[in-house]
């Protein structure tokens, strides 16, 4: 594992050389009795990309989620321990109060009573009609909305009065009573209804999605200098109270190393995971930066085995004993220690360690722990034995060659190299193939890998994509995220029950059974998290670990303040 650590350490001087290590820490506060009255000066954040849109339903990726959390409001939010809290709604729908019901026909119904003090950035009140209008746009094929999975689960959205929103669902849904960011933000009907009805083609490309955006979140757009920076101002009418920090500036700096240089020079105050990663945080620490560098659990990295033959299949992976052996041969802890200095979490299941059900799952569901003797036994049972040359071979003398597809990011390549090295110890001949950026965007290519693929995606209930509806095929134009084409009807049935069960204890039983199926099949194998890097000035208080799912890092931006 040492060679991996040296690769990362070798990069540090390159990053640090961009700025003087002796530069003063940006915005350092000395504290003291007057700290409570500290002026709330602007917070300048380095952003590695410039968004094309500010509307949450039209963007994707962690950076867009962070922007959505600043500019848009939502019905609820989730705390780090996955507990829902009211946001634009006055209280959460409840089975006890009859505002969350499941009628005999199975179509769940939820009623949200909205807060009456919530306003859009232009000062107009947010009403149930604005949510009805948003749903209309989200489900209009002529509109460029892409992140509308929650809307697609709805059969009816009605305003019972100005502040009572009624939603009927296609089926019982885990999050029906806790619709959280970045899903289903209201849209200002009083501004958008007329241009939408007048010319839908022009409306779909209008400036109201970008430079003239009017949202409902803690901050509003004040100025956007294309190619340079975006200035956000605290929203006086924000439903949870005016944010303490008056101004947030998102400064667009395309290169992550340049962001490090700007942080060290004091020209920006912070940066988040959408713009920097583990390597940049380490560079800041090595340079003696005085701000806070933290590592929050991020996307799950996992190995998945191919289940279909596109003409290049390594048929050995169709044998569950071979799959289990290959996973037993991987030292997850060594990967997290070698690549991330222990700042990443080891994963054994498709379930966050912060999930309330995790302790029960951890007791009940088998793991594929690092165990080389067990791996050799499984391979021998499958007809693969170690030959005199040290290679694993079958009865015909053929070596066990294992093509491994890797994503293109540097650290993704290093992960694949470590796994390949560990398989070599077992006597397997790995072949690491790194995707180009174009191949990474090509779903047809990604679903035709020969044996094993090292992928990543956010860990969550909604992101369990190994179902029949997510298999990319020529018929569906290669849409879907189940690149291995792994489908187990029992797993699919159990996960549907997970997604339909709001009651935690009842859901826990389905989770255990579903994850037992995944563990037994050993097709999809979570390995570890990738840390979400966050760097912010020592003088700021408020940043809190987000929920590990499809979340923004600045989900509680309305609480941040200078000390």
User: What pLDDT score does 38 carry?
Assistant: 66
Residue 541, H or E segment: strand 540-541
What pLDDT score does 5 carry? 38
Q: Label residue 137 by pLDDT band (50, 70, 90).
A: very high
User: How confident is the model at residue 432, as a pLDDT?
Assistant: 96
- HEC secondary structure over 53-116: CCCHHHCCCHHHHHHHHHHCCCCEEECCCCCEEECCECCCCCCCCCCEECCCCCCCEEEEEECC
**Region of residue 473 (phi > 0: left; psi between -120 and 50: alpha; otherwise: beta):** beta
Residues with Cβ within 8 Å of residue 562, at least 6 apart in sequence: 27, 29, 38, 39, 40, 41, 43, 244, 245, 539, 540, 541
Sign of the Cα pseudo-torsion (190, 192, 197, 198, in order): positive
**pLDDT range class, residue 554, cuts 50, 70, 90:** confident
Q: What token pair was written down for 467?
A: 């179902």
State yes or no: pLDDT of 194 exceeds 80.
yes
pLDDT mean over 541-552: 82
Of 34-48, 71-85, 275-289, 473-487, the range with the lowest mean pLDDT is 34-48
Residue 157 above 70 pLDDT?
A: yes
- Look at strands 292-296 and 270-271 and give their pairing: unpaired
> Which residues fall within 8 angstroms of residue 372, CB to CB, at 6 or more apart?
328, 329, 425, 426
The pLDDT of residue 63: 78
Q: Indicate if the pLDDT at residue 13 is higher than 50.
A: no
Give the three-state DSSP class for 156: strand
Q: How far apart are CA 145 and CA 161, in angstroms?
A: 27
Over residues 321-358, the pLDDT tens digits come to: 999 999 999 999 999 999 999 999 999 999 988 888 99
Q: Is pLDDT of 420 > 70?
A: yes
Residues 531, 339 contacting (CB under 8 angstroms): no
Neighbours of 506 (CB within 10 A): 11
For residue range 239-267, list pLDDT tens digits in order.
999 999 999 999 999 999 999 999 999 99
Where is pLDDT greater, at 511 or 2? Answer: 511
Q: How confident is the model at residue 472 (pLDDT cuts 50, 70, 90)?
A: very high
Query: Environment class of residue 2 by beta-carbon count within 10 Å: exposed (0-12), middle (13-18) or buried (19+)?
Result: exposed
Question: pLDDT-based confidence at 553, cuts 50/70/90?
Answer: confident
Q: What is the mean pLDDT of residues 353-370?
A: 94
What are the structural domains of the chain? 1-24+33-72+217-298+535-563 (3.40.190.10), 73-207 (3.90.76.10), 300-529 (3.10.105.10)
Averaged over 197-219, what is the pLDDT?
96
Q: Is the pLDDT of residue 34 over 70?
A: no
Calculate mean pLDDT across residues 517-536.
Answer: 95
Indicate the pTM of the whole model.
0.86
- Please give the Cα distance from 185 to 208 (Å, whole number): 15
The answer to whether the beta carbons of residues 510 and 498 sit under 8 Å apart is yes
Mean pLDDT estimate for the chain: 91
Q: What percent of the chain has pLDDT over 70?
A: 93
Tell me the mean pLDDT in the region 413-417. Answer: 95
Neighbour order of strands in the sheet with 292-296: 219-225, 229-234, 247-252, 43-47, 270-271, 532-536, 292-296
Burial 441-472 (b: 16+ CB within 10 A, else e): eebebbbbbbbbbbbbebbbbeebbbbeebbb
pLDDT value of residue 37:
57
Confidence of residue 274 (pLDDT cuts 50, 70, 90): confident
Region of residue 112 (phi > 0: left; psi between -120 and 50: alpha; otherwise: beta):
beta
Residue 23 has pLDDT above 60, yes or no: no
82-131 pLDDT per residue, tens: 789 999 999 999 999 999 999 888 789 999 999 999 999 999 999 999 99
- CA dist 545 and 124 (Å) reads 32
44-63 pLDDT, tens digit per residue, is: 999 998 999 999 999 777 77
pLDDT surpasses 90 at 307: yes
Residue 31's pLDDT band (cuts 50, 70, 90): very low
Tell me the percentage of the chain whose pLDDT exceeds 90: 81
Enclosing H/E stretch for 429: strand 429-434
Three-state helix/strand/coil letters over 309-373 = CCCCCCHHHHCHHHHHHHHHCCCHHHHHHHHHCCCCCECCCCCCCCCCCHHHHHHHCCCCCCCHH
Contacts of residue 108, defined as CB under 8 A and 6 or more positions apart, other chains included, come to: 100, 101, 102, 168, 169, 171, 172, 173, 176
């Amino acid at each position: 594992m040492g060679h991996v650590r040296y690769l990362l350490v070798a990069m540090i001087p390159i990053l640090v050389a961009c700025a003087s290590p002796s530069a003063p820490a940006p915005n350092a506060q000395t504290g003291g009795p007057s700290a409570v009255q500290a002026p709330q000066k602007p917070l300048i954040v380095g952003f590695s990309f410039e968004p094309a849109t500010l509307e949450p339903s039209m963007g994707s990726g962690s950076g867009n989620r962070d922007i959505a959390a600043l500019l848009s409001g939502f019905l609820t939010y989730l705390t780090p321990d996955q507990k829902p809290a009211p946001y634009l709604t006055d209280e959460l729908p409840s089975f006890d109060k009859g505002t969350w019901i499941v009628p005999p026909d199975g179509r769940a119904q939820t009623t949200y009573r909205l807060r009456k003090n919530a306003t859009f950035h232009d000062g107009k009140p947010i009403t149930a009609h604005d949510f009805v209008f948003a749903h209309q746009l989200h489900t209009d094929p002529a509109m460029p909305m892409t992140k509308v999975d929650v809307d697609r689960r709805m059969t009816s959205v009605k305003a019972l009065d100005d502040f009572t929103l009624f939603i009927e669902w296609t089926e019982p849904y885990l999050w029906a009573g806790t619709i959280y960011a970045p899903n289903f933000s209201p849209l200002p009907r009083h501004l958008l209804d007329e241009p939408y009805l007048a010319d839908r083609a022009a409306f779909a490309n209008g400036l109201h999605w970008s430079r003239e955006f009017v949202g409902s979140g803690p901050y509003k757009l004040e100025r956007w200098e294309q190619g340079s920076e975006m200035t956000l101002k605290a929203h006086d009418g924000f439903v949870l109270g005016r944010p303490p920090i008056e101004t947030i500036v998102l400064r667009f700096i395309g290169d992550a190393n340049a962001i490090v240089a700007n942080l060290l020079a004091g020209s920006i105050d912070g940066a988040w995971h959408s713009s920097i990663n583990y390597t940049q945080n380490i560079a800041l620490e090595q340079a003696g930066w005085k701000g806070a560098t933290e590592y929050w659990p991020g996307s799950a990295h996992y190995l998945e085995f191919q289940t279909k033959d596109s003409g290049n299949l390594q048929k050995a992976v169709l044998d569950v004993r071979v799959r289990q052996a290959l996973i037993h041969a991987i030292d997850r802890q060594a990967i997290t220690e070698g690549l991330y200095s222990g700042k990443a979490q080891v994963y054994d299941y498709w379930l966050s360690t912060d999930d309330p059900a995790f302790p029960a799952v951890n007791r009940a569901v088998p793991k594929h722990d690092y165990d080389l003797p067990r791996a050799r036994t499984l391979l021998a049972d499958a007809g693969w034995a170690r030959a005199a040359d040290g290679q694993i071979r079958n009865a015909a003398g053929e070596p066990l060659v294992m093509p491994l597809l890797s994503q293109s990011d540097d650290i993704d390549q290093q992960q694949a190299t470590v796994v390949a090295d560990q398989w070599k110890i077992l006597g397997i001949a790995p072949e690491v193939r790194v995707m180009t950026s174009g191949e990474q965007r090509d779903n047809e290519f990604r679903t035709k890998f020969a044996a094993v693929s090292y992928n990543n995606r956010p860990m969550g209930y909604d992101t369990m994509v190994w179902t029949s509806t997510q298999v990319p095929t020529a018929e569906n134009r290669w849409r879907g995220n189940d690149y291995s084409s792994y489908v187990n009807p029992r797993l699919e049935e159990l996960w549907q029950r997970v997604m339909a069960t709001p009651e935690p204890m009842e859901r826990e039983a389905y989770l255990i059974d579903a994850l037992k199926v995944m563990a037994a099949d050993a097709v999809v194998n979570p390995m570890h998290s990738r840390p979400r890097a966050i760097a912010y000035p020592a003088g700021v208080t408020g940043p809190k670990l987000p929920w590990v799912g499809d979340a923004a890092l600045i989900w509680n931006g309305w609480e941040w303040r200078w000390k």
